[in-house]
Structure 1
Amino acid sequence: MTDSQKIAERRVRVASLVIAAAILIAGVCYSSWLLEFVLKIDVDPVNSFLSELDAEGRPYRAVFATADKIVGVLLLPAAIGGLLLFPRRRFTTIGWVALFCFGAATIADVLLPLKDCTAGDNACGGGSELFPQLHQPHALSSTIAVTSIAIATFAFSLAAFRYHRWRILREAGLVVLVVGSAATVWMLVADNLPGNYALGIAQRIQVGSMSLWLVTLAAAVILEGREWIDPSD
């Protein structure tokens, strides 16, 4: 290997570490909702959406909003870096683009905060629904965020099996994907049934799985960097 090749490889590895660090920090920040069990917040975790933590007028909105901003700010360049640095294959390209969309939608979540809904608040749906927040613009950005990271998770998982690489994504990542998918099905089914089915718990499992998957993706970039830069299939 020539000196120029060694320098190029070293640069790629440094860039990989930077990308992995950004994804790792984003994954940790996306789990900031765990602070609801430490801070004095009047929110029922069984029957509330996590968006209520940084809703307008909430006492600790700045804490959770800042964490979400960090997630988006870190994932945008990380996704672009991953798309430019690593070999462009169909599934990984979809994954990086979806990850970029997730980062952008997370920032939009902060810019379009949930209104601090109370019973009978007509602006939030009149209190006739179990989750009147769904009638707010914030629901659109949240839906885009969840859909984007779901696409990213499936795309990278398919890539791991298709290209026979990134063992951590094939194993740990697959477990996280199954758990998150189960929580999503729980939410979709329960939200259309009469009664209360602890949708707050389901969403916390769903979002928790997203954080764990981001950490898993970061680990894949760090631990298996050689496979990321190997252009062969």
Structure 2
Amino acid sequence: MSGSRRIAERRVRMASWFIAAAIAIAGLCYSSWLLEFFLHIDIDPVNSFLSELDADGKPYREVFSTADKIVGALLIPAALAGLLLFPRRKFTTVGWVALFCFGAATIGDVLLPLRDCTPQDNTACGGGGSQLFPQLHQPHALTSTLAVTAIAVAAFAFSLAAFKYHRWRILREAGLVVLALGSAATVWMLVADNLTGDYALGIAQRIQVGSMSLWLISLAAAVILEGREWIDPDSEEPGEVIVVDGCAT
């Protein structure tokens, strides 16, 4: 192996470690809501949404908002690095861009926290407006919707890439199970939210967000465990590094 090839391999592996570490830490930080079971927080986890944890005036708002800031601060550069390091093929490109948008929307969640008000009585919360677009009632609801949509797009895009390009085995197995769990929780929320009565929407959202964290960790594991395949050992030209969708072809 030539010196230039060793340098190229080292750079790719270092970059893969950076991307994987950033995504894994972001996944762990996105599960900061688990602290609600250890801190003295007066909310009902069965029927409350996680946005209430870092709403204006909540006692531990800084804890949860800081965790979300870390998520965004890590995923934005990690997504950009993945987009620049790997060839831009359709599904992986969509995945990295969506992951970037998820990080940005998560920071938006922090900058636009949930406000303690009643929509019917407070015009600042969208009172008197149409119920057709509840995302417009508060800016936080809109950023939360964008975040969930973005990571869903990323998860589906990477899953499709894993099957189409025959790579990312972890995403074809563990990642797909986590994606199915999160999708089921999302359907639960969408259906139950339009029915009368209590259907444990808080639990549904916690399953949904928990699956997001697990999927991010699965993505990080796929990046690092399959990193050995990113360098083409049969490359004819010294120093040539071929990377296709996170793996060599």
Note whether the superposition's TM-score is higher than 0.5: yes
Q: 1:67 to 1:121 in 2, by over 3 A?
A: farther
RMSD: 1.9
1:171-186 to 2 correspondences below 5 Å: 171-186=173-188
Cα separation, 2, equivalents of 1:110 and 1:179: 26
Gaps of 5+ in 2: 232-242
Q: Is the 8 A contact 1:99 1:152 kept in 2?
A: yes
Aligned to 1:79: 79
Matched, 1:41 2:41: yes
Aligned to 2:152: 150
Q: Is residue 208 of structure 1 aligned with residue 210 of structure 2?
A: yes
Number of the residue aligned with 1:141? 143
Structure 1 unmatched runs, 5+: none
Q: Please give the per-residue CA displacement for 1:185-204, whole angstroms capped at 9, x wherever unaligned.
A: 00000001111111110000
TM-score by length of 2: 0.87
Distance, in Å, in 2 between the alignment partners of 1:107 and 1:76 is 10
Q: 2:194 aligns with which of 174, 192, 195?
A: 192
Partner of 1:53: 53
1:21-65 per-position Cα deviation (integer Å, ceiling 9, x unaligned): 000000000000000000000111011110000000000000000
2:135–2:145 contact (8 Å) kept in structure 1: no
Matched, 1:170 2:172: yes
Distance 1:119 1:165, change over 3 A: closer
Match of 2:64 in 1: 64
SS at match of 2:40: coil
Deviates more, 1:219-228 or 1:84-93: 219-228
Contact 1:124 1:133 in 2 (8 A): no
Runs (4+) of structure 1 exceeding 6 A deviation are: none
Q: Equivalent residue of 1:205, what SS? A: helix
The whole-number CA distance in structure 1 between the counterparts of 2:32 and 2:77 is 21
Cα deviations by residue, 1:145-190 (Å, 9 ceiling, x for unpaired): 0000000000000000001111100000000000000000000000
Aligned residue pairs: how many?
229
Displacement of 1:119: 9.9
Q: 1:87-102, aligned counterparts within 5 Å?
A: 87-102=87-102
Amino acid at match of 1:55: A
Tell me the distance in 1 between the aligned counterparts of 2:200 and 2:18: 39
CA–CA distance in structure 2, aligned partners of residues 184 and 8 of structure 1: 42
Structure 2 residue aligned with 1:12: 12
Report the residue type matching 1:215 in the other structure. I
**Secondary structure of the corresponding residue to residue 57 of structure 1:** coil
Q: Give the Cα–Cα distance (whole angstroms) in 2 for the partners of residues 134 and 119 of structure 1.
A: 11
Contact 2:135 2:142 in 1 (8 A): no
- Larger radius of gyration between Structure 1 and Structure 2: 2
User: What displacement does 1:77 show?
Assistant: 0.2
TM-superposition CA deviations, 1:191-232 (whole Å, max 9, x none)? 011111111100000000000000000000110013455335
Of residues 208, 221, 224, the one that matches 2:223 is 221
| Cα distance in 2, alignment partners of residues 117 and 209 from structure 1 | 30
Which has the higher mean CA deviation after the structures are superposed, 116-125 or 53-62?
Answer: 116-125
